Structure 1
Amino acid sequence: MPQPIQWYPGHIAKAERQLKEQLNRVDVVLEVLDARIPFASHHPQVDEWIGEKPRVVVVNRRDMIPSEILSQWRDWYQAQKIQPVFTDAKKGTGVKGVIKAAQLAGKAMNDRRISRGMRPRPVRAVVMGLPNVGKSALINRLVGKKVVESARKAGVTKQLRWVRISDQIEMLDAPGVIPWKLDDQHNAVKLAICEDIGAASYDNQLVAAAMVDLLVELNLEQHLTERYDLDPLDMSGEDYVIALGDHRFQGDRERSAVTLLNEFRKGILGQIPLELPN
């Protein structure tokens, strides 16, 4: 296991405080997860923060896992009485389902208003999740144009802002929130592999080695063998990073590690889930 990964930049404490204040004003919570790591990308305190509010689980990056694994996750969530929405925010796949689910979840609020003789109002939804799971890309897709900054790295959204999706829906784009202390280091390593945590918090070589070990553990090592013509089965992840450096990069271990991580993150190694619904 690599050295402890901890990442809690200054703006996150402030964002978390503001988010908790705004939660009183929202009708429905859209929790965005990373399809490669739905367990590790779930913030452990979200349940406590939102209480009884309706929640829509949005599993983003559906394109990065095989369809049979996606079906397994759908079955798993449905067994927990959760109806997930699977999206690819970059391409826009599944985003209509997010609007539909948010409107349905907010319907009870407007039914109450009407029963009290009040006029219906737009449903207020908050989009929340860990850094870099695709929240801003999702909002841009929902609006149909780029209204919030989005990039493939953690910590781009720094402040809360309301975005009007339509006459029926307003959304609060919240910065990624992460636990101030990452107690589960296995999950922290998965967040680092998927780039759902700031790069300053980890060592590329240690995380790349952990990724190789994890792929072997999940019987997915063929992705590495096919891509690099180097079988990881007879060596540790650390030795694999070294061997790949010797094999491809004149002994440069850092370049070897960065290549492994980048090619996983960009999908060049294939559709690879790092967690399965057990």
Structure 2
Amino acid sequence: MSQPLIQWYPGHIAKAEKALSEQLKRVDVVIEVRDARIPIASTHPKIATWTEGRSHLLVMNRLDMISGLHQKQLQRWFNQQEQEVFFTNAKDGDGIKQLLKAAQVAGIRVNERRHSRGMLPRPVRAAVIGFPNVGKSALINRLLNRRVAESSNRPGVTRQLRWIRISDAIELLDTPGNLPSLLGDQDAAVKLAICDDIGQAAYDNVLIAAAAVDKFKEIGVPLHIKYGISAKELSGMEYIEAVAKSDRYNGDFKRVADLILHDFRKGRLGAIALEYPFTEI
């Protein structure tokens, strides 16, 4: 049996999940942050448990990395699932005001219920949850309108649970990237790796770049415009080899693999979504 492309080890994950579960007992609202390019792969398998009995604000971050048409199709699809969704670009602040307003409305509802039970009002408690590097810390910084959460394009920058006061009305629980302890879906894990939403220690860049090329071919990304070679008749690995053999790269497979992944992650190949839950693609 061949080794899976993505591997991580559950050593610290169970401990982190236990700490999160304890804190979630105090939470009124779960703000789930996903990567808009992979709206299904970037949801945690335990999210239904974590949102049970709480308001669930679903955020599709990296709005700038998908097309306007794809956003509209996703919006329609989630609405059909009876799930409200917010689209954000935490880097530039797009969509933050709408999300903050929704969190404030959730807080009003919480305190209406408390009042009906004869309890005093308090700030709404919201937890921000998502895979590493989907933009949670950048989102929190935008919600606070100041830098309090360390933000980076490296997965796993946030290391511990902590509460942050946004205002007299809202407190936020900033959580480390939430990885499932077991990998049940390699296809989803590969998409997370392509999008840089899990740590690079879990995979080999060359293998993931090859998988990315295969995915790009499937959805019609014109790689020849960027790299001068058509991928039409080649597998992902064959394509990396072909580009690496050109004079510019001197046979350096890893350099080409790193470049392809970097170009995709920086949007240099265009606005590309890897998942289309509303179609058969």
TM-score (norm 2): 0.94
The corresponding residue for 1:235 is 234
SS in 1 for 2:76: helix
Residue by residue over 1:115-136, the C-alpha shift from the partner in whole angstroms, topping out at 9 and shown as x without a partner, is 2333321111000011110000
Is 1:252 matched up with 2:252? yes
1:269 aligned partner: 269
Q: Which amino acid aligns with 2:190?
A: V
Classify the secondary structure of the residue corresponding to 2:25: helix
- Rounded to whole Å, the distance in 2 between the matches of 1:154 and 1:8 is 16
| Contact 1:72 1:277 (8 Å CA) reproduced | no
The C-alpha deviation readout for 1:121-173, integer Å capped at 9, x for no partner, is 11110000111100001001111111011110111111001111111111000
Structure 2 stretches lacking a partner, 5+ long: none
Please give the root-mean-square deviation of Cα atoms over the aligned residues, in Å: 1.4
Aligned residues of 2:33 and 2:134 also touching (Cα < 8 A): yes
In the alignment, the residues of structure 1 paired with residue 114 and residue 262 of structure 2 have an alpha-carbon distance, to the nearest angstrom, of 50
Query: Mapping of 1:1-278 within 5 angstroms?
Result: 3-8=4-9, 10-220=11-221, 222=222, 224-247=223-246, 248-278=248-278
| Structure 1 residue 9, shift from structure 2 partner | 6.6
Q: 3-state DSSP class of the match of 2:91?
A: coil
Q: Distance in 2 between matches of 1:52 and 1:250?
A: 57
Deviation at 1:87, TM superposition (A): 0.3
Q: For residues 79-111 of structure 1, give each alpha carbon's deviation from its aligned partner in whole angstroms, at most 9, with x where no partner exists.
A: 111110100001011011111111222322100
**Alignment length (residue pairs):** 276
What TM-score results when the alignment is normalised by the length of structure 1? 0.95
Percent identity among equivalent residues? 54
Q: Are the aligned partners of 1:124 and 1:172 in contact in 2 as well (CA < 8 Å)?
A: yes
Task: Give the unaligned 5+ runs of structure 1.
Answer: none
Q: Distance in 2 between matches of 1:135 and 1:29?
A: 12
Question: Helix, strand or coil for the counterpart of 1:140?
Answer: helix
Residue type of the alignment partner of 1:136 = S
- Using the TM superposition, give the Cα deviation of residue 2 of structure 1 relative to its aligned residue in structure 2, in angstroms: 7.4
Q: Is the Cα contact below 8 Å between 1:149 and 1:157 reproduced in 2? A: yes
